[in-house]
Each structure stands twice: as structure tokens, then as C-alpha cells.
Amino acid sequence: MKNVIIYSSKHGFTEKCAEMLKEGLRDGSNLINLKDNPIIDLNDYQVIILGSSVYAGNIQKDMKEFINNNLKVLLEKNTGLFTCNMHKREEAEDQLKKVFPLELIERSFVVTFFGGGFDFSKMNFIEKQIVKKIVKVTENVENIEQENIKMMQEKINALV
Ligand SMILES: Cc1cc2nc3c(=O)[nH]c(=O)nc-3n(C[C@H](O)[C@H](O)[C@H](O)COP(=O)(O)O)c2cc1C
């Protein structure tokens, strides 16, 4: 069975999580950065994992557009979804329901969040101000939910 992990990452955390996810997959997986490859033929794949970081309460624009443009196919496949974010666990659960289309969530075999991090060296001036003033974080931090990555790996491995 052919798998693909398609991700959209701004500062590298979603990319890192996508790579960690791939490492635990029995049959391996193609890894596609949506920013480099915005057009993907999903008919080639049986298991499709979509991952995006969340900024200002939303997944990234390119991922949103990709989902909208491919929704019909995604609803017919074994689709899994994850976000990278810095909300607390309970809020991250709620956030998941808001950032992906409801019908896709309902049809997906796994929907979860992988945590993330703040890397000030990758942020622009405005992003730094937002994180310092609103989130009140002033240093680099990384908080990746290894358990959720493992859970998704197990669900994918059970399918293939
Ligand atoms: C300016 C800014 C806004 C953010 N907004 C949110 C948000 O609304 N909700 C959230 O859970 N995390 C938010 N985050 C945290 C990011 O989702 C987190 O840093 C994530 O790991 C980034 O992943 P990436 O490097 O793959 O883009 C924000 C981060 C920045 C820098």
C-alpha cells in the first residue's frame, strides 16, 4: 500500500514531526512538502496523511487550499490529519475541530495534534512580538507529543 505524508511547515516543526512519523511506519512513506510541491496526484496513494502548523487559529493557507481542492478524493481515501501547535492539550483537541472541514474529520481514520515549538531565530519581527507579548514566551521551546505520533504510527501500520 502506498502512503504519503503531505505537510505545510513555516519554521520547521511540522516538517520535523512529519519525519518522525515516517520513521515509525513499517512500509515507509513518501514525504511531501506542500510548499515545494503544491500539485500532488492523490490517486497514487491509499493512505494520505495531512499535517499543518497552526498560526492565529488556522492551518496554513496552502494546506487549506489543498484540502479544498482535493476534498472529494480525500473523503474516499484513508485520510489522517494532524496539527502542530502550541496550545495546551484540551485546547488543541478543540482547535482540531475548527481548523479542518468537519466532514473530513468525520471520515478520517485518525485526527490528532503533535505539539510543536517556538524558534525565535526563524520568526520575523511581528511573530517575535506576538509570542513575547501575547504568549509570554521569550526563549526557544520545543514540546512534541511523542505519544500522539506513536498512536498515529500504530493506526497507519494497522492499515497497511
Ligand atoms: C506568530 C505565531 C502565531 C501562532 N499562533 C498559534 C495559534 O493560534 N494556536 C496554536 O496552537 N499555536 C500557535 N502558534 C504556535 C505554532 O503553531 C508552533 O510554533 C508550531 O510548532 C509551528 O510549526 P511550524 O514550524 O511547522 O510552522 C503560533 C506561533 C507563532 C510564531
pTM of full prediction above 0.85: yes
The CATH number given to whatever domain includes residue 88 is 3.40.50.360
Domain total of the chain: 1
Q: Which residues line ligand 1 (CB under 6 A)?
A: 9-14, 53-57, 84-87, 95, 116-118, 123, 127, 130-131
Query: Per residue in 53-81, pLDDT tens?
Result: 999 999 999 999 999 999 999 999 999 99
Range of the domain at 134: 3-159
Interatomic CA distance for residues 47 and 154, integer angstroms: 13
Asked if 5 and 30 touch (Cβ cutoff 8 Å), the reply is: yes
- Which atom of ligand 1 lies closest to the CA of 11? 25
- Which atom of ligand 1 lies closest to the CA of 15? 26
What is the block-wise mean pLDDT of the chain (160 residues), using blocks of 10 residues?
93 98 93 95 95 97 97 97 94 94 97 98 97 96 97 94
What is the reported pLDDT for 1? 60
Q: How many other CB atoms are there within 10 angstroms of residue 54's CB atom?
A: 21
